[in-house]
Structure 1
Amino acid sequence: MRCLSPLFFFALFSYAQAQSSAKQTIPDFKEKPSVHWTFRVATPIIASPLVSDNLVYFGALDSTFYALDTRSGKISWKLKTRGQIRSTPLVTGNILYLNGGDGNLYCLDKMTGKIKWTFASNGEKKYDFADYHQSSPILYNNTVYFGSGDGNVYAVKADNGTKRWSYQTGNIVHTTPAIDNNKVFVGSFDGYVYALDVASGALVWKFKTLGHRFFPAGEVQGSPVVAKGLVFIGARDYNVYAIDQNKGYCHWNKAFTRGWGLANTIHDSVLHIGGADERVLIAAVPETGREYWKKPMEFLIFGSNAYSESMFYAGTTIGKLHGIDARTGEKVWTVTTEGYSKNRLKYFKPDDAYRDDIYTIIKSNEHFLEVEYELGGIFSTPAITPDLLIFTTTEGTVYCLRR
């Protein structure tokens, strides 16, 4: 199932109408927030934080899951697993579900970290060095759904960890599932997007990506988002696809020329697309893909956005968190990491363009990732509350910003 890219058009008036149609509860951080506290671990943090009841939860590449007090930044409790944690936890009531990075799904008491039960998959693994995230668990009808490095999508009973069903794809599943209209949507590194029956796990349809000369399999690395009867998902073949939720065919696709568009979010009936190597941020009409606006970014985007009334907040892998006007795409303010401030001139000019001798300094893709780690790159989605913005970085620091 394949499709060609449509023409894209600018429609600011329609965008303003779409933005005004939804009610938000978190006021905008219109002024640049200040650092309330920081917390440091010894390894990079790829996973996104989650806030619940004055605790912020996150996992790190040191195989440890942390719960910090949002008021002080001090550890409330922590749990050691046997694998690097690259996913976001799920909280419901007093229960927390965690993909531990070691092939186990953990059910924990969110206040104490006490393990209630674990579910073991057939093991976790990475596809390659650029396989940054793992699948995060989601909850629907007392069932927890998640993908695994063993190639399976799992549905597990939320109360006792018993498996309801599993579905085997052709490769690693590190996308976070999305559920709508009795279907579970996931992408696999085998190059397919899958729609599965939410109750039985039976295949409803699967969609094959186009592939690319550098990535002929068209590995699906971006997580799906669902709206307007469509599934939006990015793959390594430089495409973002809008796939019919019921029949599995492509309505439109956005083709990039320089790299991946894996970070996609829907808010107020607007699709936001983060282009990685393209270094752009796009606001588009979900039904057609036509652009409201398209803004340059100084570096790569791999995390999703956090939203308030009329702004959103996005991080880049150079170590910058931006507060952005959702209507226009203009940056309102920027917070930089310590790693960026300390190390950026090793690799960049003052305007964040690469140094002229950069290819004598960075000689491989793996080294490029190490540089992003050094800069305190933001690969995660910020957590937002009425008073706080919290984000994690690859320098191993959690930043808590206060209004």
Structure 2
Amino acid sequence: MKRLWVVSLLIFFLVANHVVVFGQQQATTISAFQNRVFKGEKYNPLGSVKWVFKTKGKIFSSPIVYQGIVYIGSEDGFLYAIQEKMGKKLWKFQTGGAVHSSPTVYKNTVYFGSFDGYYYAVDSKKGSLKWKFKTGGEHWSGEVSFLGLKPYDRYMDDLWDFFLSSPVVNPDAKDPSVFFGSSDGNVYALNANTGKLKWKFAANGSIHCSPALYKKTLYVGSWDANLYAIDIKTGKQRWKFETGNKVGFKGIESSVAVANDMVYFGARDPFLFAVNAETGKLVWKYDAAYSWIISSPVVSNGVIYFGTSDTFWLVGIDAKTGKQLFVFQANGYVYSSPAIMGDTAYFGDFTGNFFAINTKSLGKEPSVFSTESRKKMAAEILKDNVLDFSYAGKGADLSFYETNQTVMNQFYKLGSIVSSPFIANNTVYFGSADGNCYAIKLKK
């Protein structure tokens, strides 16, 4: 795979736009995928490392910061609560499986899921269990002969299925609800205080993306390639939108962004879609050039930001028209969902690089942080500092599933970043496949 080495830059104006996210400081609920736009001005490049917190497993979970505490899950089976200022562990909560779900905090409770098949509600200060809810089971997506790989009669996990659904809370004072999807194909609505089931909605495929809540409707995609709009009170389908279902180009991992009565989301088919939130009718779609969109879009000031897989892009497109405004090329897959603060877009790539991009200068002078793992392993694993699947395969037959597994495990040695960043108190936080949660100061 060759890097295109082209940065397409078009001057554009940022038009004021109302986006449905909770305020960064005033929120009573903080969710990793509904809090992607942060208060700030101008361009804030990356500064020095504030601290690094080590876990014993790869981190695919995205951090959130609430009342001085950083919450993040790890593949080692724990949810961690880390002191925001010093990076010291306050507590950790053990589950029976990898924690690829990102946490959500509502009042004094943190919600998240685990591959052990449970979704948990844990006291945010003490780390003690409040309740847990058993789903029909959590697992990686997959199929027999995934992507046509050999041996043809073998069931294979999807090597690019990184996440479990992350909960979202409807903060109704009298009757709060928590919503999440599951590998069992259901969307669940529970009482946020007790964990009691209110309703469940059945899709035709696993649900690993996170729901988005907007005007009493829940929007969530599935591996069955459909986006569903569900009434939050009744659990009944309002509408569904079908994306492509060709072999290798089927499924929705991207979570939804909603702004000005429009729903934006990416798919593997590979398009980014703009759909009317009320009717489910297509308004426009953006062609990602045969590159999956796993990264969840963020809408800020009339521009949609998201990452792509094989083209290694961070893309900015006009929210009204779908017109491409700029492209910045990273060094590998961009599965991390960007965070936007002022004129800066923050995101990581699969080679262990983390970027701060000046959206005003359209990325001409990016600020870059590299994990220590990347610094040590880049010369061995990357080709000319860029991810190249064939090169990393070292001549092995890539038509076999096990060869692809080996290559992906090589890439993980770089400290791949699929965790999405969170910004608080002039610091950006994110996780890495090297098992670390990083806190990087920002320059003003």
Q: TM-score, normalised by structure 2?
A: 0.83
Q: Distance in 1 between matches of 2:38 and 2:49?
A: 24
Q: Is the 8 A contact 2:338 2:421 kept in 1?
A: yes
SS of the residue 1:346 aligns to = helix
Q: Tell me the distance in 2 between the aligned counterparts of 1:315 and 1:98.
A: 22
The secondary structure found in structure 2 opposite 1:344 is helix
* Matched residue type, 2:342: E
Q: Which residue of 2 aligns with 1:181?
A: 215
**Matching residue's letter, 1:226:** V
Tell me, in whole angstroms, the C-alpha distance in 2 between the residues paired with 1:18 and 1:291.
Answer: 18
Q: Which runs of 5+ in 1 are unaligned?
A: 1-8
Does the C-alpha gap of structure 1 residues 353 and 379 become closer, same or farther in structure 2, counting only changes over 3 Å?
A: closer
Which of 329, 351, 376 pairs up with 1:342?
376
Q: Kindly report which structure 2 residues correspond to 1:274-313, keeping only aligned pairs within 5 A, or say none.
A: 274-313=307-346
Q: Which residue of 2 aligns with 1:323?
A: 356
Deviates more, 1:371-380 or 1:288-297: 288-297
What do residues 60-105 of structure 1 show as CA deviations (whole Å, max 9, x unaligned)?
A: 1111111111222221101110121111111122221122332222
Q: Is the 8 A contact 2:423 2:429 kept in 1?
A: yes
Asked whether 1:137 is paired with 2:167, we answer yes
- Inter-partner Cα distance in structure 1 for 2:86 and 2:222: 40
The structure 2 residue matched to 1:43, chosen from 28, 50, 57, is 57
Aligned match of 2:270? 238
Residue pairs, 1:244-259, within 5 angstroms? 244-259=276-291
> Which residues in structure 2 correspond to 1:119-268 (within 5 Å)?
119-127=133-141, 128-140=158-170, 141=172, 142-215=176-249, 218-263=250-295, 264-268=297-301
C-alpha contact (below 8 Å) 2:15/2:302 kept by paired residues: no
The secondary structure found in structure 1 opposite 2:60 is coil
Conserved 8 A contact 1:19-1:327: no
Aligned partners of 2:306 and 2:338 also within 8 Å = no
Q: Indicate the residue corresponding to 2:421 in structure 1.
A: 382
In the alignment, does 2:95 pair up with 1:81? yes
Change in Cα spacing, 1:203 to 1:115, as seen in structure 2 (3 Å) is same
What letter matches 1:137 in structure 2?
A: P
Counterpart in the other structure of 2:14: 16
8 Å Cα contact 2:43/2:342 also seen in 1: no
- Assess, with a 3 A threshold, how the Cα gap between structure 1 residues 68 and 197 changes in structure 2: closer, same or farther: same
Per the alignment, in what secondary structure is the counterpart of residue 292 of structure 1? strand
CA contact (8 A) 1:26 1:386 kept: no
Secondary structure at the counterpart of residue 16 of structure 1: coil
Structure 2 CA distance for partners of 1:52 and 1:29, relative to 1, 3 Å: farther
Is residue 244–residue 251 contact of structure 1 (8 Å, CA) maintained in 2? yes
2:100–2:164 contact (8 Å) kept in structure 1? yes
Q: Secondary structure at the match of 2:87?
A: coil
SS in 2 for 1:317: coil
How many equivalent residue pairs? 392
Distance 2:390 2:441 in 1: 38
Measure, in 1, the Cα distance between the counterparts of 2:273 and 2:387.
30
| Helix, strand or coil at the partner of 1:38 | strand
Q: State the distance in 1 between where 2:137 and 2:221 align.
A: 18
Deviation at 1:356, TM superposition (A): 8.4
1:336-375 to 2 correspondences below 5 Å: 336-352=370-386, 354=388, 357-360=391-394, 363=398, 364-375=403-414
Deviates more, 1:132-141 or 1:322-331: 322-331
CA contact (8 A) 2:79 2:93 kept: yes
> How has the CA–CA distance of structure 1 residues 50 and 276 changed in structure 2, closer, same or farther, with 3 Å as cutoff?
same
Contact 2:114-2:138 within 8 A present in 1 as well: no
Pairwise CA distance, 1:31: 4.3
Within the alignment, does 1:33 sit opposite 2:31 as a pair?
Answer: no
Contact 2:303 2:319 in 1 (8 A): yes
Change (3 A) 1:10 1:379: closer
Question: One-letter code of the match for 2:366?
Answer: V
Percent of paired sites with the same residue:
28
Match of 1:368, SS state, is helix
The whole-number CA distance in structure 2 between the counterparts of 1:242 and 1:328 is 26
Residue 5 of structure 1 is matched in structure 2 by: none
Q: Say whether residues 1:112 and 2:110 are aligned partners.
A: no
Match of 1:398 in 2: 437
Establish whether residue 64 from structure 1 lines up as the match of residue 78 from structure 2: yes
Between the aligned partners of 1:103 and 1:246, the Cα distance in structure 2 is 33
1:353–1:299 CA distance, 2 compared to 1 (3 A): closer
Q: TM-score, normalised by structure 1?
A: 0.91
Task: Output the CA distance in 1 between the equivalents of 2:215 and 2:284.
Answer: 21
Secondary structure, aligned partner of 1:33: strand
User: Could you tell which deviates more after superposition, 380-389 or 15-24?
Assistant: 15-24
Give the RMSD, CA atoms, in angstroms: 2.4
Instruction: Give yes or no for contact 2:412–2:433 (8 Å, CA) kept in 1.
Output: yes
Give the Cα–Cα distance (whole angstroms) in 2 for the partners of residues 191 and 297 of structure 1: 27
Change in Cα spacing, 1:19 to 1:35, as seen in structure 2 (3 Å) is: farther
Shifted more, 138-147 versus 273-282: the winner is 273-282
2:17 & 2:11 partners in 1: Cα distance? 10
Structure 2 residue runs of 5 or longer lacking an equivalent are 1-7, 24-36, 142-157
Q: Structure 1: how far apart are the matches of 2:73 and 2:219?
A: 25
